[in-house]
Homo-oligomer: A and B are copies of this chain.
Amino acid sequence: MTDFRDLMRIRRSVRDYEDRKVPVSLVRELIADACEAPSASNRQPWGFAVVAEKGMMGRLSDESKKNLLNDMKTLKSPTLRLYRPVLKDENFNVYYNAPCLVFITGPKGLHSAVKDCSLAASYFMLSAADRGLGTCWVDLGSAVQDPEILAELHIPEDHRIVAAIVVGYPRVIPERPPRNEPRILAIIE
């Protein structure tokens, strides 16, 4: 149990994990804590799909890489293009070989879904850090579109993946990356 102000600084995006399973019971606790997040009109529109099986995580990584490389052909996003070399690397697993992956999904038509699910993701990641687990929100790992794979994950057709978060026991906890001075645009008092 960690004081919040310490926890904010302890939580880091972890990209190097021990080869050690996270008990599903523990992942369920993180999900329960994620559901403590506020949501617009207390709608709690989130769903969770847990993947802790290496074969499936490999398929999901390949599927996401394939779709992102396809997107690059049409989208002119310079940030996405930066990732081209790693996405073309067959040995690169977007989930950093973590032992577990949790998708947070939200309804496609709901205007607040990305905000709601991001708040849940925040609670999920802080709760994990509080329990000695590492996480990383891997945006490159959420481009899963294959209907067969989505069906295997029981993600309903009217939901989409908002967050892909890997979970595991950190091998290395990185230093806190530098923060800019807050950009305070105006103070009107």
Contact = CB atoms under 8 A, between A and B. Distances in A.
Interface of A: 1-5, 7-9, 11, 13, 24, 28, 31-38, 40-42, 44, 46-53, 56, 77, 79, 105, 111-112, 114-115, 118-119, 121-123, 125-127, 130, 137, 139, 152-156, 162-163, 177, 179-180, 182-189
Which of A13, A35, A162, A188 counts the most chain B CB atoms within 10 A? A188
Given A2-B4, A5-B130, A184 B36 contact: no
Contact of A48 (B35, B41, B46, B183): B183
Contacts of A51: 186, 188-189
Given A8-B123, A115-B118, 18 more contacts: A1-B4, A1-B5, A3-B4, A4-B126, A24-B187, A32-B182, A35-B180, A36-B179, A44-B180, A46-B183, A47-B183, A48-B183, A49-B186, A50-B184, A114-B114, A118-B122, A119-B122, A122-B122
B189 A137 contact: no
Nearest to A121: B119
A40 B105 CA distance: 18
Given A1-B5, A2-B4, A114-B115, A38 B125 contact: yes
Nearest to A77: B111
A68 B123 CA distance: 30
Contact of A50 (B33, B37, B79, B186): B186
A46 B22 CA distance: 33
Contacts of A31: 182, 184
Nearest to A83: B41
A185 B118 contact: no
Contacts of A152: 186, 188
